Amino acid sequence: MHQFTIAEIIRGLKNKQFSSMEITRHLLTRITQLDSHYNSFITVTAEQALAEAASADKRLAEGGAPSMCGVPIAHKDIFCTTAVRTSCGSKMLDNFVPPYDASVVASFKHCGSISLGKTNMDEFAMGSSNENSHYGATINPWGNNRVPGGSSGGSAAAVAARLLPGATASDTGGSIRQPAALTNTTGLKPTYGRISRWGMVAFASSLDQAGPLARNAEDVAHMLSVMAGADVRDSTCLNRPSQDYTLGLNKSVNGLKIGVPKEYFSAGLHPEIAVRIEAALKEYVKLGAELIEISLPHTAMAVPTYYVIASAEASTNLSRFDGVRYGYRCNNPTNLRDLYKRSRGEAFGEEVKRRILIGSYVLSAGYYDAYYKKAQQVRRLIKQDFVDAFKRVDVIMGPTTPTPAFALGEKNADPIAMYLQDIYTIAASLSGLPGMSVPCGLVNGLPVGLQIIGNYLDEARMLNLAHQYQQVTDWHQAEAATPAPAA
């Protein structure tokens, strides 16, 4: 049963081949048996999931239920969930039980989807390996000593291990796409503002965007249809209703123009990944698309621009964690300043502290123009590269990551080497453009992701392209070896 995709579960529930209760129980058992190995969950909400499954089965029996009714998923632990601890991977929020649901969570509840729990992540979504979690690293099902990527590594590993068919995730600089690439899953970061950020713990507000992570493009389309849409509680959310993203999946891609940025194939890209990406592009040519070489000249500036802007916004956003209103509070503070400094010093992990300090530096008097304003100007140049490219092409394709999954601990000593993992994903985030990662092969037994970058609000076309590729290839069906259940 755990082999079913979301689309298969929807059909199975509709045809009464199995009930939501049956599949929910099956997946919960599987999580109990296997997740001590993967550590992809921070919290499993078995009791609540079974209660939700019972109501979903009732709704399904009555008829007219939304398509995602009864489908089990899980939420990245960055989304607030009523009465369920929302840690954001941090000691700071280890005891935080929100009194409300994030809009994304509420949308799935409204449809009758089942939440199996909350998935592991890098602390406050800062990381590319999931090793920065207060709850321990998540293991990539594709290799016991390999990272699943981050920061949505728990969601990605859980899908790859077939613990669930899909999970919510979030992406600030690549946190959906990079883990999807490293775990052979399909993940989409929509256009900035397509999905409400209300109730999603803020990291960098001008970049953060929620999105779905699942086995294939069709399943991602099912999830996105639930997640997208306007929300009066998030004033940066686009004022557009959701749409059924599954409707356009079968369109022909004949005649579409695919831009291939030459900068995405330069030094630093693993040569075997380049081979897999080129093979994927050839599949698109066979489907009738045309490849056009393009240039995104400011590509090399994406990483430094991002680390100024994201760190500045993080230092501001994370100032809310002060030991007063929620979260961790140090013991016996001598005064208010001591309460702030020690609560934050004791509860934030090293990477989070580093980014807050960098953010404070670039925003401080005397450095603001040289770093923050400069980065905002370069951000516009990066966006303009894409605007120019989209005058000539319909979509852009290239690698999602420069390397396959690296070993646990490999990049811990050198945070900047870790930052370069996101070299191909960050530019779309800075520009607010939608980006997606689709499985396109293996290198030494480890998955490779093809990145699709679309124009603003062109998610339907990206999903169509990904789905058509998945009709003629079977990389997305390749499965990681399942470990022996823990004794």
Alpha helices in 190-335 (DSSP H): 217-227, 271-286, 302-317
Would you count residue 193 as binding another protein (CB under 8 A)?
A: yes
Angle at 282 between CA 277 and CA 283, to 5 degrees: 100
Encoded one letter per residue, x for contact with another protein by CB under 8 A and - for no contact, window 197-236 reads ---------xx----------------------x-x--xx
**3-state helix vs strand vs coil in the chain, percent to 5:** 45, 15, 45
Report the distance separating Cα 202 and Cα 216, nearest Å: 28
Q: Return the residue matching tokens 């530096």.
A: 361
Report the C-alpha gap between 173 and 294 in whole angstroms: 22
Spell 296-305 as b/e; 16+ CB within 10 A means b: bebbebbbeb
Q: H or E stretch including 13?
A: helix 6-14
Residue 431 contacts another protein per CB under 8 A: yes
Could you give the angle at the alpha carbon of 168 between the alpha carbons of 117 and 382, nearest 5°? 150
Interface with another protein, residue 319, by CB under 8 A: yes
Q: Which of 342, 411, 461, 467 binds another protein (CB under 8 A)?
A: 342
Q: Find residue 73's DSSP bridge partners.
A: 115
Q: Is 315 a catalytic residue?
A: no
Q: Which helix (H) or strand (E) holds 44?
A: strand 41-44
Task: Let me know if 55 is a catalytic residue.
Answer: no
Residue in 20, 76, 90, 118 annotated catalytic: 76
Position among 381, 387, 407, 481 found at the interface with another protein (CB under 8 A):
381
Q: Which stretch binds another protein (CB under 8 A): 34-42, 155-163, 275-283, 374-382?
A: 374-382
Taking the least distance from each CB to another protein, the nearer of 230 and 442 is 230
Which of residues 11, 373, 387, 407 is near another protein by CB under 8 A? 373
175 catalytic, yes or no? yes
- When binding is defined by CB under 8 A, the residue of 76, 134, 177, 379 that contacts another protein is 379
Per CB under 8 A, 457 contacts another protein: no
Upstream peptide bond of 151 is cis (omega within 30 degrees of 0) = yes
Of the listed 103, 151, 311, 437, which one is catalytic? 151
Token duo for residue 356: 């807050």
Q: Are 208 and 172 in contact (CB under 8 A)?
A: yes
Q: Which residue has the tokens 């760190």?
A: 311
Contact range with another protein by CB under 8 A, out of 61-69, 104-112, 245-253, 428-436:
428-436
Q: Does 262 bind another protein (CB under 8 A)?
A: no
The piece of 210-218, 283-291, 316-324, 443-451 that touches another protein (CB under 8 A) is 316-324
Closest approach, Cβ 399 to another protein, in A, equals 21
Binding mask 99-118 for another protein (x = CB under 8 A): xx------------------
Query: Does 341 participate in binding another protein (rule CB under 8 A)?
Result: yes
Nearer to another protein, 56 or 423 (CB): 423
Q: Binding string to another protein for residues 292 to 311, with x set by CB under 8 A, is what?
A: ------x-xx-xxx-xx---
Pairing of strands 257-261, 290-294: parallel
Token output for 250: 């079968």
**Which residues have a catalytic role annotated?**
76, 151, 175
